[in-house]
């Protein structure tokens, strides 16, 4: 596999980064994951807007222009012949002598790699996933997409050890989001409920596309916090992210949702999302 690091395309075994990179020492870095379908990029512009926002919140300079970022994405897809999967991009504040005080004039580092993944024909999308709930113990700026992912990684690992697939995180009684996805329930009347945007959740690019497509298709949407008890009683539940697209949740803390099989609302929204995304791919 060819990867990109600071201006160079290299075999993955030859790519290097300084051990003093602040991404390594302080998780002083932000990232984006863009889905690739049919060899094209899904929602690329929205990902680059969110990247710019994350960088701005942390005062990390942009490593290059959006046009250059697009060229790198395209070149990496081409070199790796990737048709379906994802492109990971990370920008850190770069290397500096280890000090909590941030350098005045950082030189950001930029890393990209591709991962092949079956997004459309994924077994979990057909079957649905099981989640457990855990306390949300992340820092309070979950709207910034930083690489500080130890807690969500612990939570997902705990979920899998309990025989589930992922964890939903809970703050003051309400679900914030999944470890790497946004969380939704469907009320008995078909209303889709997902938490409103704030600093408590990542502003998912898939979330905003799904809500727009669903609204256009006449699906009632309410953006509000929901409790774990409510979720367990829901008609359906699901998650969204660049790599899971729209994936049903069929069990929460051992309680089957919708009889333990994916329901009609989530199936329709997944199809709608895939169809609309494919129409808008950036080749
Ligand atoms: N929430 C969290 C915590 C995430 O890490 C992610 C994606 O990685 C998402 C939500 C979904 O965001 P997106 O739809 O932009 O992939």
pLDDT at 214: 98
**How is the chain split into domains, by residue range?**
2-116, 123-279
Write the class of the CATH domain 2-116. alpha beta
CA 280, chain centre distance (Å): 19
Ligand 1 centroid – CA 33 distance (Å): 8
DSSP string computed for 60-100: PPPSS-HHHHHHHHHHHHHHHT-SSEEEEEEEE--B--S-S
**pTM of the predicted model as reported, rounded to 2 decimal places:** 0.98
pLDDT at 86: 98
Examine the predicted complex and report whether its ipTM is higher than 0.85. yes
- Strands 109-116 and 129-135 come out as unpaired
pLDDT tens for the chain, residues 1 to 283: 999 999 999 999 999 999 999 999 999 999 999 999 999 999 999 999 999 999 999 999 999 999 999 999 999 999 999 999 999 999 999 999 999 999 999 999 999 999 999 999 999 999 999 999 999 999 999 999 999 999 999 999 999 999 999 999 999 999 999 999 999 999 999 999 999 999 999 999 999 999 999 999 999 999 999 999 999 999 999 999 999 999 999 999 999 999 999 999 999 999 999 999 999 999 9
pLDDT at 224: 98
Q: Do domains 2-116 and 123-279 have the same CATH topology?
A: no
For ligand 1, say whether the CB of 33 is within 6 Å of any of its atoms: yes
pLDDT at 25: 98
Substitution site in 49, 241, 277 for ligand 1 pocket (most atoms within 8 Å of beta carbon)? 241
CATH number of 123-279: 3.20.10.10
For ligand 1, say whether the CB of 136 is within 6 Å of any of its atoms: no
Q: Using CA positions, which residue lies closest to atom 1 of ligand 1?
A: 181
Locate the ligand 1 atom nearest the alpha carbon of residue 243 and give its number. 16
DSSP string computed for 155-212: HHHHHHHTT-SEEEEEETTEEEEESSSEEEEE-TTS-EEEPPPSTTS---HHHHHHHH
Active site residues: 145
For ligand 1, say whether the CB of 182 is within 6 Å of any of its atoms: yes
Ligand 1 centroid – CA 41 distance (Å): 16
């Amino acid at each position: 596999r060819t990867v990109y690091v600071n201006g160079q395309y290299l075999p993955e075994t030859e790519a290097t980064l300084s051990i003093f990179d602040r991404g390594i020492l302080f998780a002083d870095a932000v990232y984006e994951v863009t889905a690739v379908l049919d060899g094209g990029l899904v929602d690329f512009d929205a990902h680059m807007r969110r990247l710019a926002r994350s960088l701005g919140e942390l005062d990390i300079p942009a490593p290059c222009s959006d046009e250059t970022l697009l060229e790198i994405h395209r070149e990496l897809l081409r070199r790796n012949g990737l048709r379906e999967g994802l492109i990971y991009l990370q920008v850190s504040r770069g290397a500096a002598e280890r000090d909590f005080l941030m350098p005045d004039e950082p030189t950001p580092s930029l890393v990209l790699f591709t991962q092949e993944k079956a997004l459309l024909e994924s077994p979990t999308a057909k079957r649905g996933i099981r989640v457990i709930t855990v306390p949300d113990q992340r820092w309070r700026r979950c709207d910034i997409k930083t690489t500080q992912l130890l807690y969500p990684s612990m939570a997902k690992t705990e979920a899998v050890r309990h025989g589930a697939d992922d964890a939903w995180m809970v703050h003051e009684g309400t679900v914030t989001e999944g470890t790497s996805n946004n969380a939704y329930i469907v009320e008995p009347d078909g209303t889709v409920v997902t938490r409103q945007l704030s600093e408590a959740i990542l502003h998912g690019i898939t979330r905003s596309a799904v809500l727009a497509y669903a609204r256009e298709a006449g699906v009632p949407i309410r953006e509000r916090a929901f409790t774990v008890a409510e979720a367990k009683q829901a008609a359906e539940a699901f998650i969204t992210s660049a790599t899971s697209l729209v994936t049903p949740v069929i069990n929460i803390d051992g309680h089957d949702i919708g009889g333990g099989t994916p329901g009609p609302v989530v199936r329709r929204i997944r199809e709608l999302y895939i169809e609309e995304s494919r129409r808008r791919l950036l080749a």
